[in-house]
Every structure is written in structure tokens, then in C-alpha cells.
Amino acid sequence: MELVFATNNRHKLEEVGQILGAAYTLKTPADCGLTGDIPEEQDTLEGNALQKARYVKLHTGLDCFADDTGMEVTALGGAPGVRSARYATDGHNPEANMALLLKNLDGVADRTARFRTVIALILDGKEYLFEGEVRGHIGEVPAGDKGFGYDPVFIPEGYNETFAQLPPQVKNAISHRAEAVNKLAVFLKSYKG
Ligand code: ITT
């Protein structure tokens, strides 16, 4: 099955490709002639995932899905949440985002956090949402060079290493994105149209 994944994030594309496996061919917006930023201006993950998927559907006419993800820290009231990409600066700057997060957690005992992903699928003109989360905590310093974004500071429950230290296969088996993508795959397998 062929689907457009409404993302400009090559790390997400790689992860989702690995989780979905060979039964699915993922096309990017650029593969369909759509370049430039995809708008995400809403104040919820659900809203942003839908906005990204609707934008790509509108401009390509193709069935597609989008992923919006946030890092939600308990002691910060769920921040940075939907603002995760632009927490420290206007643009995507993972080092600055992690530095600000660690600064805001300085001396804070409760370091629990979760990643949450919402996937919006547009198929045959109808919209569907799938959600996934992984719980864990924020480490004291960034560690590891795998993954992307906030991975160097996130230690998933049951592990002693960050997502950036663990093998990608482990992240892709237990992550927020894996849970949402697996729900998407179950839905697509049983979809009758
Ligand atoms: P698209 O909107 O093009 O899909 P994006 O990088 O803008 O890509 P998000 O808005 O969903 O994606 O990401 C919000 C922030 O969370 C951003 O800083 C990402 O780097 C980070 N992030 C997303 N998924 C992550 C993951 O699995 N591990 C670590 N950080 C992640």
C-alpha cells in the first residue's frame, strides 16, 4: 500500500518506515511536488496532526497521514507539549530546546515525563486519529547520539539509558510513535473501504 506521510522530518520518516515494514511504501510531500513548510498552527497535537494531513491532502489529492508529537513534563504542567519544536527558539533547535528543559527542571525532584504522538489519517475523504505515548523521565544531562529531538534527555520507563543511547530497534518497539503507528497499521489492515 502507498501512502503520503505529511512530514518534513526525515527521522520520523525513517522510524515510521521501520515500524510499518515493507508492506507500505511511504511517499514524502516532496515526492509529490510539495516543498516548503507544512503549517502547524494549532494549540493541540490533534489539531496540528489534522492541519498537516489536510494541507497535504488539499495540495496533492492523495490519501495521507501526519504525525504531531510533544514532550510533556509533569512538573512543568505538560510543557513544552504542543510547543516542543519551538520551546527555546522560533526554529527547530534541539540543543537549545533540551538546554531550556534541563534549566527549567534544575533542582526539581519530579522529572517524570512522556512523549505523546497523534497521527491523523485521511483516507477516502474521511479523517481518523491514532494516539501513542511512552512514559519515562528526564535525565540530568543529554546522553547518546541516536534518534533526534529530545531523545538524548528522555529515559523510558524500565530502562537506564536515553532513547538516544538505546538501539533504534528498542525505541521503535516501545515508543510513542510505535504505539500510534501500530494502531494505524491495524486499522489499515482491516480497512474495507
Ligand atoms: P513534521 O511536523 O514535519 O512532521 P517536526 O519535527 O516539526 O516534523 P513535531 O512538530 O511533531 O515534528 O515535533 C515536535 C518536537 O518534538 C520537535 O522538536 C521534534 O524534534 C520533537 N520530537 C518529535 N518526535 C520525537 C521523538 O520521537 N524523539 C524525540 N524528539 C521528538
What is the pLDDT at residue 116? 98
Q: Whose CA is nearest to atom 15 of ligand 1?
A: 85
What pLDDT digit, counting tens, does each position of 91-100 carry?
A: 789 999 999 9
Any ligand 1 atom below 6 A from CB of 42: no
**Average predicted confidence (pLDDT) for the chain:** 97
68 alpha carbon – ligand 1 mean position (Å): 7
Any ligand 1 atom below 6 A from CB of 139: no
- Inform me whether the pLDDT recorded for 20 exceeds 90: yes
What is the pLDDT at residue 82? 97
pTM (2 decimals)?
0.97
pLDDT band at 193 (very low <50, low <70, confident <90, very high): confident
Neighbours of 111 (CB within 10 A): 17
Q: pLDDT over 90 for what percent of the chain?
A: 95
User: Which atom of ligand 1 is closest in space to residue 66's alpha carbon?
Assistant: 4
What pLDDT digit, counting tens, does each position of 98-141 carry?
A: 999 999 999 999 999 999 999 999 999 999 999 999 999 999 99
Catalytic-residue membership of 68: yes
What pLDDT digit, counting tens, does each position of 154-186 carry?
A: 999 999 999 999 999 999 999 999 999 999 999
- Inform me whether the pLDDT recorded for 1 exceeds 90: no
Q: Whose CA is nearest to atom 22 of ligand 1?
A: 149
User: Which atom of ligand 1 is closest in space to residue 8's alpha carbon?
Assistant: 3
Q: What is the DSSP string of the chain?
A: -EEEE----HHHHHHHHHHH-TT-EEE-TGGGT--SPPP---SSHHHHHHHHHHHHHHHH-S-EEEEEEEEEEGGGTT-EETTGGGSSSSS--HHHHHHHHHHHTTT-S--EEEEEEEEEEEETTEEEEEEEEEEEEE-SS---SSS-TTGGGEEETT-SS-TTTS-HHHHHHHSHHHHHHHHHHHHHHH---
